[in-house]
């Protein structure tokens, strides 16, 4: 009967279904393990957009040291990164580049909007060259208010993101 069922034509469909069943069985523990791995090694991409990068730098400094919370210092290659911290104002010239960077990053990817400018345009609400928030460009996970936010605030934002990842479905990206 199995021989009738599994013909060379539908063999891979069958294997795929089997894989799904298997995955469902171990979804919870596996998902937890995957999320645990993601939480403690968030790699922010090295893209500065405005003046909040000063406080982002301060957050990596010895006094605040985000690395102990699993946020690694900004890193060069965006192919290895899974977090964008949008550090402040996005201008009209920068917006396409931000989207380009976001598109090149592998899944899963998370976005923290840091500073009032990244959230709503902030102090530059009436400037001709500043976007009123980055929501129209990329989806945002966590908003960190402040102008600029203190490093502690940024760290809290990162921890909120970790909480969020913990509750996310890991399988969506597997």
Positions in the binding site for another protein (CB under 8 A): 45-51, 53-55, 57-58, 60-63, 74-76, 78, 89, 91-94, 97, 101, 123-130, 147-148, 150
**Least distance CB 3 / another protein (angstroms):** 50
Q: Which is nearer to another protein, 27 or 48 (CB)?
A: 48
Q: Which is nearer to another protein, 32 or 75 (CB)?
A: 75
Q: Which is nearer to another protein, 118 or 165 (CB)?
A: 118
User: Does the CA dihedral 108-140-169-30 come out positive or negative?
Assistant: positive
Q: Are 123 and 116 in contact (CB under 8 A)?
A: yes
Six-digit token pair at 157? 């934002």
3-state secondary structure of 71: strand
**Least distance CB 34 / another protein (angstroms):** 27
How many Cβ atoms sit within 10 Å of the Cβ of residue 69? 16
Place of tokens 């500043």: 130
**Least distance CB 21 / another protein (angstroms):** 42
């Amino acid at each position: 009967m199995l021989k009738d069922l599994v013909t060379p034509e539908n063999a891979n469909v069958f294997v795929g279904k089997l894989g799904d069943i298997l995955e469902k069985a171990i979804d919870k523990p596996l998902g937890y393990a995957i999320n645990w791995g993601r939480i403690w090694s968030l790699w922010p991409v090295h893209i500065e957009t405005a003046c909040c990068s000063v406080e982002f730098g301060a957050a990596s400094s010895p006094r605040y040291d985000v690395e102990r919370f699993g946020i690694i210092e900004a890193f060069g290659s965006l192919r290895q990164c899974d977090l964008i911290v949008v550090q402040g104002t996005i201008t009209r010239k920068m917006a396409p580049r931000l989207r380009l960077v976001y598109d090149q990053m592998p899944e899963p990817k998370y976005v923290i909007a840091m500073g009032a400018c990244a959230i709503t345009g902030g102090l530059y609400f009436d400037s001709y060259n500043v976007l009123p928030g980055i929501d129209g460009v990329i989806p945002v996970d966590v908003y960190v208010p402040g102008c600029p936010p203190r490093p502690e605030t940024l760290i809290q934002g990162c921890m909120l993101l970790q909480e969020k990842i913990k509750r996310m479905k890991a399988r969506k990206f597997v």
